[in-house]
Structure 1
Amino acid sequence: MMSRLYPTVLLCAYGFFSNLRPLEPFLTAFLLGPDKNLTETEVVNEIYPIWTYSYLLLLFPVFLATDYLCYKPVLVLQATSLVVTYVMLWKAQGTLAMQFLEFFFGLATASDVAYYSYIYSVVDPAQYQRMTGFCRSATLFGSAAGCLIGQLLLSVAKAELLHLVFITLASAAVAFVAPWFLPKPKRSLFFHKNPGLAEDDQRSSSSKSSSEKSEDAEVKVPLNTTNSAVSRSSEAGTHNGGLVGVLRILFEDFVQCYKCRPLLAWSLWWALATCGYFQVINYAQPLWETVRPSQDYEIYNGYVETLSTLFGALAALLAGCLPVSWSVWGELLLCVLSLLMAVCVFVMDMLKNIWVCYGSYVLFRTTYMLLITVATYQIAANLSMQRYALVFGVNTFVALLLQSLLTLVVVDSAGLGLNVFTQFLVYGVYFAVIAGIFLLAWAFKLASRRRSKQEVLRNGGTPPAAASPPLASI
């Protein structure tokens, strides 16, 4: 128990302090204010897009480096990047310096894969769910606490925005200490696989009852090749395959996973919605700043970010309790709730009232957190740990690729360089298109089921009960 407690406490402390960022809800106001004296066009169209591009370019190399270096060095790199980011935010001036700052923050964001996967290398698989909950809760509480502290310091203590930079930097410095004391794992998912784990998985699989095996055959096909994936990953990582062997295994598993139609559907929503979600939260502050300039009025971004984070956490908890058959109604609910997200974005864009903007933003983030939690469960429930990391990594990469294209065309000064209101009009249309895609998917599924029942009846058989797709339903 102590062997699990020590790294878990350190990792949660690191997650809390690295996300305790009182300045974050007021970053746009700080960059536009007298301390940096940048223009809205420089901030929105030239500086912020660099984070998207750097995150995309660094995600896959950092993913491989995380596994090859066994997590700890990448966590140290992430902590260093955060310190560099906030030192530059304090000292550096000019557009070019802020673009370099966004690059370092992109490196820190890409390194999140090390934070969320480290714990899997030091605890037993039976503890994965609990430890994941601890780590994610630590980051959410850190983020909410940082936003609330920042707002209280501005509204009550009348602090300056530069003071929030100092506090954020101090929090990053505290977080910087924790990764150095984490034990370095001796195994990882791909490059340093422990063969004993594969044997444990095989023994666990062979000990299942016949009924469980038949259920697996129905529910987990074509994702039930866990043992072969484990053994092949082990072989690729411990023999002469090296990087080429790992890449070959990853590609084979990629093809195998995405042959599963329900997994493909949930992954498609994940990638499309995450792309739009990143754009909305990245450019919400410039929108608020335009609607209610911080130099003329008191702003309440910190309260809004705190509420949206806490409601998002509650929505994530609610997702596991909803009495919904996602296998039957999943596409329709994805359509309806994506349409709700589109309405939230349209409302923020068109009404130009700060309180309506705040409320719509909270509802938007809460809806996304609800659906992304369901998508995470639907995808992960029937995947081995190796494929869990692969599918989630691919989905995030596709989301970032789409986001980079959207940023280049809509936001970047090298593209259309649209103003923030026109941008949000585009994002609203984007979510409406997502809703339309899943409405068509639901209609296609209904038509397919109707045809299959008619064929069975014509052949003299008994129409089956609602067919279960490969992924489990809640």
Structure 2
Amino acid sequence: MDCWKGAVCRSWIYPTVIICANGFFSAMRPSESFLTPYLTGPDKNLTIEEVTNQIFPVWTYSYLALLFPVFLITDYARYKPVLHLQGISFIITWFLLLFAHGVLAMQMVEFFYGMATATEVAYYAYIYSVVSPDHYQRVTSYCRSITLVAATVAAVLGQLLVSLADVSYFHLNAITLASVSLAFVCSFFLPMPQKSMFFHRKDVSPTPPAPDKAAVASVGPDGPSSCHEDEGSVSADRGPTPKAQADNAEPQNHVLSVLVQLSKDLRDCYSSRKLLYWSLWWALATAGFNQVLNYIQVLWDFRAPSHSSAVYNGAVEAIATFLGSATSMAVGYAKVNWDLSGELVLGIFSAMDAGSLFLMYFTDNIWACYAGYLAFKACYMLLITIATFQIAVNLSMERYALMFGFNNFVALVIQTILTIVVVDSKGLGLDISTQFLIYGCYFAFIAGIFLIRSVYTFISTKRRNNSAVDESTDH
């Protein structure tokens, strides 16, 4: 019997099932769509200004402060302990939401929620340390799909309980606490990985391409190509690995050698102009997207106060999630020369995001606000899928994870600057409506950058083609 259990734990099925269960219960948070009505309602009795300018900014600050150290600790500790930390953070977050009161207590809620958000990297990285590369694509689809399903189920369930069963926001938060507690329990049943991507590598063969884009990655006989666009660039898997370098160094220099290798990898990746521009859009747009997501409920509550109007936040979030997944899936069937037209697409859809945000600012109609948010999220999900594919297609799994983390870190820095200047009471402390005017201008600025860049790309390509034709005619 023990041998049978060991065989099950060593197979890819067991850890995949457990990590998917963990992901489902972690993402199944029906109260999240109704956080602002809960905080400004009779349960917590906070004002919109306190929620907007004093409480919500703490999430951005704590997420930024914790992201880099958590990223390193996650890999060094081999993921599972960080999944425990994520579960504890979620439990503390919702325990405080249920039983604590006051601005300071809710700021602590945002701090622990920032910690839980920072530890999400462990969920997506864990599975690659316990299954073989042959199963990467399948388990990636399972892990990502289950969280999408859970978020949709949570939004629909929350809306149905509020609208049809008249369940209070307090009890919605109690349901969420039970769900994240189950996720915490699931994390204890995961097998402990013996390797990780950077600190505990076992390099026996070339690293496979980025796992969630394996179906579209370009892989040569020697493994995936590097970050550089030119054929003479250094291979992503050529040269000493962090593990190999560490073996030749003193044990106390192990962490330093890995950090040096990571910095070299980042420098090589960003020396590619193509990856640099896609990463620039990723960081700029993700900062704006996260900012909108963090404050959209406040805008809805401002347009249609929850104490006197029906609240449909859950239904809108469910539809937005579905539209986002549909547009993301559509990218897989699009036949586009992304090298030529990618920046034009980024510019056009970023302009549509700007238009959606301007609509939310200029209208007083809550349904128009809902429609603007649906369009905004669908456009962003479409573009982030394209950007992810373009960055992942020529990278090893380690370098993709590294660029993903660094791009998100830069996005958080930009978001923090936006929060300090626009939102925080120590900065401008703008009202919620004016904030969305600023966000609309921000996305218009992003659209302008990439529309101008696309015109330059088209002109340069046309000149090169004309020069090639002229040269062939001369010969």
Same fold (TM over 0.5): yes
Residue segments in structure 1 that go unaligned for 5+ positions in a row: 202-209, 464-474
Task: Tell me the residue number matched to 2:361.
Answer: 349
TM superposition shift of 1:126: 2.8
Task: Tell me the residue number matched to 2:173.
Answer: 165
Task: Tell me the residue number matched to 1:227.
Answer: 237
CA distance in 2, matches of 1:174, 1:154: 23
Task: Tell me the residue number matched to 1:252.
Answer: 264
- 1:150 maps to amino acid: G
Of residues 447-456 and 429-438 in structure 1, the stretch that sits farther from structure 2 once superposed is 447-456
Q: Deviations over 1:183-229 (max 9, x none)?
A: 1110111110113245999xxxxxxxx98679969967477512226
Task: Tell me the residue number matched to 1:95.
Answer: 103
Equivalent position to 1:149, from 149, 154, 157: 157
Task: Tell me the residue number matched to 1:184.
Answer: 192
Task: Tell me the residue number matched to 2:182.
Answer: 174
- 1:321 maps to amino acid: Y
TM-score relative to the length of structure 1: 0.91
CA distance in 1, matches of 2:220, 2:207: 22
Look up the SS of the partner of 1:226 in the other structure.
coil
Q: Deviations over 1:370-429 (max 9, x none)?
A: 111111111111101110111101100010000000000000001000000000000000
CA distance in 1, matches of 2:121, 2:311: 33
CA 1:275–1:456 in structure 2 vs 1: closer, same or farther (change >3 Å)? same
CA 1:130–1:457 in structure 2 vs 1: closer, same or farther (change >3 Å)? same
Cα-Cα RMSD: 2.2
TM superposition shift of 1:322: 1.1
Say if 2:379 is the partner of 1:367.
Answer: yes
Q: Deviations over 1:246-294 (max 9, x none)?
A: 1100111111001111111111111111011001111110000010011
CA 1:237–1:363 in structure 2 vs 1: closer, same or farther (change >3 Å)? farther
CA distance in 2, matches of 1:18, 1:48: 21
CA 1:177–1:238 in structure 2 vs 1: closer, same or farther (change >3 Å)? farther
CA 1:374–1:211 in structure 2 vs 1: closer, same or farther (change >3 Å)? closer
CA 1:305–1:221 in structure 2 vs 1: closer, same or farther (change >3 Å)? farther
CA 1:400–1:221 in structure 2 vs 1: closer, same or farther (change >3 Å)? farther
CA distance in 2, matches of 1:329, 1:79: 43
Equivalent position to 1:23, from 28, 31, 42: 31
Task: Tell me the residue number matched to 2:301.
Answer: 289
Q: Deviations over 1:70-102 (max 9, x none)?
A: 000001000110000000000111111111111
Look up the SS of the partner of 1:310 in the other structure.
helix
CA 1:437–1:94 in structure 2 vs 1: closer, same or farther (change >3 Å)? same
TM superposition shift of 1:127: 2.0
Equivalent position to 1:13, from 6, 21, 30: 21
CA distance in 2, matches of 1:170, 1:48: 24
CA distance in 2, matches of 1:121, 1:223: 28
CA distance in 2, matches of 1:4, 1:290: 48
Look up the SS of the partner of 1:82 in the other structure.
helix
CA distance in 1, matches of 2:353, 2:247: 46
CA distance in 2, matches of 1:450, 1:36: 61
TM superposition shift of 1:233: 1.8
Q: Deviations over 1:429-464 (max 9, x none)?
A: 000000000011112212322343455456x3479x
Say if 2:254 is the partner of 1:242.
Answer: yes
Task: Tell me the residue number matched to 2:347.
Answer: 335
CA distance in 2, matches of 1:90, 1:211: 54
Say if 2:436 is the partner of 1:411.
Answer: no
Residue segments in structure 2 that go unaligned for 5+ positions in a row: 1-6, 210-218
Count of aligned pairs = 453
Equivalent position to 1:266, from 273, 278, 284: 278
Percent of aligned pairs sharing the same letter = 49
CA distance in 2, matches of 1:351, 1:29: 21
**Contact 2:225–2:396 (8 Å) recurs in 1:** no
Look up the SS of the partner of 1:228 in the other structure.
coil
Look up the SS of the partner of 1:307 in the other structure.
helix
Equivalent position to 1:75, from 48, 69, 83: 83
Say if 2:74 is the partner of 1:62.
Answer: no
CA distance in 1, matches of 2:207, 2:353: 46
Task: Tell me the residue number matched to 1:206.
Answer: none
Task: Tell me the residue number matched to 1:310.
Answer: 322
CA distance in 2, matches of 1:199, 1:347: 46
CA distance in 1, matches of 2:225, 2:408: 27
CA distance in 2, matches of 1:265, 1:222: 21
CA distance in 2, matches of 1:376, 1:23: 30
**Contact 1:193–1:237 (8 Å) recurs in 2:** no
**Contact 1:79–1:175 (8 Å) recurs in 2:** yes
CA distance in 1, matches of 2:334, 2:312: 32
Look up the SS of the partner of 1:196 in the other structure.
coil
**Contact 2:224–2:394 (8 Å) recurs in 1:** no
Task: Tell me the residue number matched to 1:390.
Answer: 402
Task: Tell me the residue number matched to 2:4.
Answer: none
CA distance in 2, matches of 1:186, 1:130: 21
Look up the SS of the partner of 1:43 in the other structure.
helix
- 1:168 maps to amino acid: T
Task: Tell me the residue number matched to 2:213.
Answer: none
Of residues 316-325 and 277-286 in structure 1, the stretch that sits farther from structure 2 once superposed is 316-325
Equivalent position to 2:146, from 126, 138, 143: 138
CA distance in 2, matches of 1:282, 1:60: 21
TM superposition shift of 1:325: 1.5
Task: Tell me the residue number matched to 1:127.
Answer: 135
Look up the SS of the partner of 1:88 in the other structure.
helix
CA distance in 1, matches of 2:458, 2:223: 27
**Contact 1:346–1:425 (8 Å) recurs in 2:** yes
Task: Tell me the residue number matched to 1:379.
Answer: 391
Q: Deviations over 1:99-119 (max 9, x none)?
A: 111110001000011101111
TM superposition shift of 1:130: 1.8
CA 1:326–1:96 in structure 2 vs 1: closer, same or farther (change >3 Å)? same
**Contact 2:58–2:111 (8 Å) recurs in 1:** yes
CA 1:254–1:324 in structure 2 vs 1: closer, same or farther (change >3 Å)? same
- 1:234 maps to amino acid: K
Look up the SS of the partner of 1:227 in the other structure.
coil
Look up the SS of the partner of 1:27 in the other structure.
helix
